[in-house]
Structure 1
Amino acid sequence: MAITEPIIVSKSLPTIHLDLLRAENDMESKKLLSACRIQGFFYLDLTSDSEICKLWEGMVARMKDYFEQPLEVKMQDSRGSHNYGYIPVGTEPGPKPETKDGYETLKFSRREFLKGSADLTTAVRSEADYFFSFIMHAHTITFMILERLSTQLGLTGSSRFEADHADPGPSLSTLVLLHYPKHNNATALTNVGHLKHTDISTLTFLLAKQWGLQFLSPETNRWEFLEPRPGHAIINVGNFLRFRSGGEMASIVHRVIPLKERQDEDRYSIVYLLRTNDDASFNDPTGKKWTAKEWHDYKYEVFQSPTTLDAKGQILTAMMEENDKMVVREGITSE
């Protein structure tokens, strides 16, 4: 399938209102459950929360300042970690043949937030309180979404989704700041986008003002762009919620590519990955048992070397896609 054509914009995603979820509105919670079961993605209207919207603006400003620094300065924050520190462009394969990924990242582990520390360069430490404030808000919102889903399904006690996300954990929940640099028209496209995958998360909370996110629609079996909307987050179901729900929640394959062949503007996205506690266990669709940390660590290895570790694409997509078509979600158990 061509990477840049056709441009199809999804019309199927529902919008869930944060204020109604907070008020425990039953109809809105039912809409939430339906979205997680069917589309696996939804818009979350944040306009009732001026604080998170203000944080969004401040985060983007701080991201621009950070990523505009010379590479050698940013590399001082490299920690060789999947959850903490700086990672340059081109670390993983890209979505097009013979390309590498087209983004650089700065990551913050929620464990650092709980410790109240940021073991990074002065430029980051001086803004640590701001980044940690965002983590607190995003974590509270995603945790509350889990609570609403548990209630709608009638789950109780340790069977509730949020039960294996309780502090002190530990978990690998992470804030990821991504910058997709604008392409120089004079250079070859060797770094572009983000290869197709499903998320190593329970829920993913995404803020982005620029186009680029596509999902493989479970309703049309085609790649569709998701429109970035002011004042709205895009939330999607990750692997852990799919496994934990016995396959009832849809963790959908997605990727990031430019609308056109080249990235014609700098793209900044803010992602909070809510993850279950490290020792939570589940069975994948093949029946193999994993802990959350085992799945997290192995899948990140696959991201860096998919052709050798995951030739059939089963780990990257968590058995959700085959030959660019969604597979039936069945046969998953959790414990």
Structure 2
Amino acid sequence: MAPIPRSTPHTAFERLPLVDISGLFSDCAARRIQTAAALGQAAAQAGFLYVTGHGIDAQIIERLKQRTAEYFAQPLERKMHDYIGLSNNHSGYVPEGEEQFAEGSIDHKEAFDVGFDYLQTQGRQPMLGANRWPGLPGFKEDIKAYYDAVFSLSLTLFRGFALALGLPENAISQWVNHPPSQLRLIHYPFAKDAAVDRPGIGAHTDYECFTILLPTAPGLEVLNGAGQWIDVPLVDGAFVINIGDMLEVLSNGAYVATSHRVRKVAEERYAFPMFCACDYETVIEPIAQLVNPATPSRYGPVVCGEHLYAQTLQTFHYLKQRVARGELSLPAGAKALSSFGLVAKGEEACHAPS
């Protein structure tokens, strides 16, 4: 995650746009293109939007919520048996205080992280491998069912964004086969006596291409083009989609990542963000068809998985300890925290290391 931007190219929206994306599933190419245009317009105007017509079974969503509530209701000692630091692909339980971002604050939340669940022995990478699943009955089955459903939705959205950019439909999804895309099950406890300004999670943009978010209660706020924080209320049956740093780069700034935060929650809250990335070895740089003399490239290339790994190494306590002991090292040319997708922050675009 990157910290709050100073300015954005977005409109002074007061509510998020809503797009019915059912047309993206149509056999009619003209209808897919029409729906993609609406998706792209919302992304360009706000970087955040609601989508309906996504086709994910409501029962899959309800089982996700039920298993997550059961998991976090367990004693801390039991949850620590699944501690993320015991995994080899960065999956498992994340206690409060484990993550610390560039601004130095500690977010008031706990989480359980689920990866692609890459079961093959060949081709594994630091954030791509077999998940560490807890023994809670039904947890693996129901959480994986949701992961698979939302991953399929992500491929549809990748195709939609490509069409909206005037590209071939598979221009981006061709790079999404077994990516380090992460689903987070996040629990924001309600603490009546917590400080009013204590964040559930501080202001940031997301690293990946885009995020598919399912929240259970209010608390999310989004920064609009006028520099105002806008509440994001729940919309029945809708997901919240937001542009991340990598799609900003791939689109050469046609879409810009929007800063968002979770303030002190007024009730217990769960949130399920799916951070949608490209395959580990994908080079993230402006797509060639979007670069021309009128819109030159404003970003230098990074390798998708290496960038995500570098950011994670600099964020999670257990990994920072391993780096300090010399057991792990940052990938060559790794960027510091908060140094990617800089157009969203009103700064110069990032450049490849010399």
Q: Provide the TM-score with structure 1 as the length reference.
A: 0.78
Q: Which residue of 120, 140, 149 corresponds with 2:133?
A: 120
CA positional deviation for 1:299: 2.1
8 Å contact from structure 2 (residues 91, 131) kept in 1: no
Contact kept, 8 Å, 1:247 with 1:331, in 2: the verdict is: no
What is the alpha-carbon distance in structure 2 between the residues aligned to residue 252 and residue 71 of structure 1?
34
Partner of 1:309: none
CA–CA distance in structure 1, aligned partners of residues 247 and 92 of structure 2: 26
Distance in 1 between residues matched to 2:19 and 2:119, nearest whole Å: 28
The answer on whether the counterparts of 1:247 and 1:332 sit within 8 Å (CA) in structure 2 is no
Percent identical pairs in the alignment equals 21
2:203 alignment partner in structure 1: 196
Contact conserved, 2:220 with 2:260, CA < 8 A, in 1? yes
Q: Aligned pair 1:71/2:76, yes or no? A: yes
Task: Please give the secondary structure, in 2, of the residue aligned with 1:33.
Answer: helix
Matches within 5 A, 1:75-90: 75-80=80-85, 83-90=90-97
Q: 2:341 corresponds to which letter in structure 1?
A: A
1:162 to 173, 194, 201: 173
Asked if 1:110 corresponds to 2:113, the answer is no
Q: SS of the counterpart of 2:84?
A: coil
Aligned residue-pair number:
304
User: What residue is the counterpart of 2:60 in the other structure?
Assistant: 55
State the distance in 1 between where 2:139 and 2:35 align.
Answer: 36
Q: Say if 2:4 is the partner of 1:21.
A: no
Matched residue SS, 1:178? strand
Partner Cα separation in structure 2 for residue 205 and residue 28 of structure 1: 18
Amino acid at match of 1:299: Q
Aligned to 1:205: 212
Following TM superposition, by how much is the alpha carbon of 1:332 offset from its aligned partner in structure 2, in angstroms? 8.3
Partner-residue secondary structure (3-state), 2:342: coil
Extract unaligned runs of 5+ from structure 1.
Answer: 1-8, 306-311
Given that 2:93 and 2:113 are in contact with CA atoms closer than 8 Å, whether structure 1 keeps it comes out as yes
Q: Deviations over 1:232-280 (max 9, x none)?
A: 100111122111111211111111112xxxx331110111111111111
| CA displacement 1:48-85 (0-9 Å, x = unmatched) | 73x53222222111111100100010011113267410
CA distance in 1, matches of 2:237, 2:259: 24
Structure 1 residue 179: Cα displacement? 0.2
Coordinate RMSD, CA, aligned: 3.5
1:207 CA drift (Å): 0.5
Q: Which residue of 2 aligns with 1:236?
A: 242
- Residue 11 (structure 1) shift: 2.8
Consecutive unaligned residues in structure 2, runs of 5 or more? 1-11, 122-128, 287-296, 318-335
Deviations 1:12-54 (A, max 9, x none): 42111132222244432211011122211110114x73x5322
Q: Distance in 1 between matches of 2:347 and 2:77?
A: 46
